[in-house]
Amino acid sequence: MTTPESAGYDYDVVISGAGLAGSAAAILLARRGVRVALLERRSDPAAYKVLCTHSITANAYPVLDELGLVPALEEAGAVRNEARWYTRWGWIEPRAAPQGPELPYAYNVRRSTLDPLIRSRAAGTPGVDLLLGHRVTGLVREAGRTSGVRASTPQGEREIRARLVIGADGKDSAVAKFAGIPTRLYENARFGYLAHFRDLPLHGGIGQAWFLEPDMAYAFPNDDGVTVLAVLPDKKRLPAFREDLEGSFLALVRALPEAPPIDSAERITKIIGTVNYPLHSRKPTAPGVALIGDAALTSDPLWRVGCGWALQSAHWLAEAVGSAATGRGDLDRSLGTYARTHRRRLLGHQSLAADFAKARPFNPLERLMFSAAARDESAARHMHLFGSRLIGPLRFLNPVALAKASAVNIKYRRATVPPDPHPDPTTEP
């Protein structure tokens, strides 16, 4: 048990939520000398998030590496998340350039494997106290700022004082609610269901995603030979879909181009999902409070960015406030640094995701980039970097990339459209 210093605080930081974001933040802060209370409302140390894409995008690989989790994930059977994407123009299949470096990757891994793994690492980190069965019921406020939490525990109500309270408690964050941080919601015009299958072969043994405009689907191989298969149809299909959930789910999958052979595989879970999953954004800081992971921003699950952004936001926060959280700096200024980083790195991605969540067909820019990526390996690698969130919208849609995509499509049309045997002499060639 960490012995608190007698400075009016029980800890430097209290984190609500010992899932992926909270556990990562606890480890990274404790390594910087911060005394951390890591609160988890569930009492089971093996608890995990069920409704998830179970995939970590490549942008978070450096955080996994800093946490020391890469060898453990490989040993646990996590699958490097290569993928191919179906579009109306064909398959986008990113591959490394000849004699070039391998494509960046992270992992597909079930949360039943990932969450207990990172939580146990947090519990074993000097400076971290993992407090199971602790549910935040309110915030301690002094002089207009948060200075701790009130929590329901197996032993009764408890007050824990700290310089900083971190909400890592998901999209319905109690910390955000108690701090009065408003939520900006964006409608998601798709609903989603998923199930886990064993012994489900996929083309090339890698992940598959289907852009069906407006419906979506994906299949990602995970640890222990399990594949996560999800469908995200337009909400207009919801009434008919609900009449026969299992039949509708299986029929949609069977109709996919190069459909996975689900009838010969073993389904090992129920079909679970949600009919209403809006995107939301919150200001990630308030006096004495920081939000990370889904508590700060929840995006569209079809892009599988939640796990990666949970890890990244934990890292950005630890870098920004590591010193100030121990009393050796200006905490408000440090929180401002974190808020600016969070906004700069994620706002553009979230804006595009919110627009695409309207379940509309591809817009002209998307048609340009996706069609080129289906026809050209360099364009496919560019798409892979964006899909992995290693580049932002401005780099993805920069003038050079747009010009290259246009050139790819012009060349393709010239190669595939036969010449007109009776050209109109009044029309320019």
The pLDDT of residue 7 = 57
Of residues 106 and 8, which shows the higher confidence score?
106
Which tokens go with 265? 């595989």
Output DSSP code: residue 340. Answer: H
The 3-state DSSP composition of the chain as helix, strand, coil percent (nearest 5) reads 40, 25, 35
Q: Quick one: pLDDT at residue 28? A: 98
User: Given pLDDT bands bounded at 50, 70 and 90, which one contains residue 421?
Assistant: low
Strands 285-286 and 289-291, by their bridges, are antiparallel
Q: What is the pLDDT of residues 107-134, one digit of tens each?
A: 999 999 999 999 999 999 999 999 999 9
pLDDT of residue 419: 61
192-198/285-286 β-pairing = unpaired
Average pLDDT over the chain, rounded to an integer: 95
Phi, psi of 221 (to 5 degrees): -70, 140
Which residues is 226 bridged to in the sheet?
198
Q: Is there a contact between 84 and 206 (Cβ–Cβ < 8 Å)?
A: yes
- What number of other Cβ atoms are within 10 A of residue 336's Cβ? 13
Report which residue type is found at 409: N
Q: What pLDDT is attached to residue 424?
A: 40
pTM for this structure?
0.94
Residue whose entry in the numeric block shows the structure tokens 């910087």: 32
pLDDT of 8 reads 84
Residue 1 has pLDDT above 50, yes or no: no
Q: For residue range 202-243, what is the model confidence (pLDDT) as tens digits? A: 999 999 999 999 999 999 999 999 999 999 999 999 999 999
Q: Give 416's pLDDT tier (boundaries 50, 70, 90).
A: confident
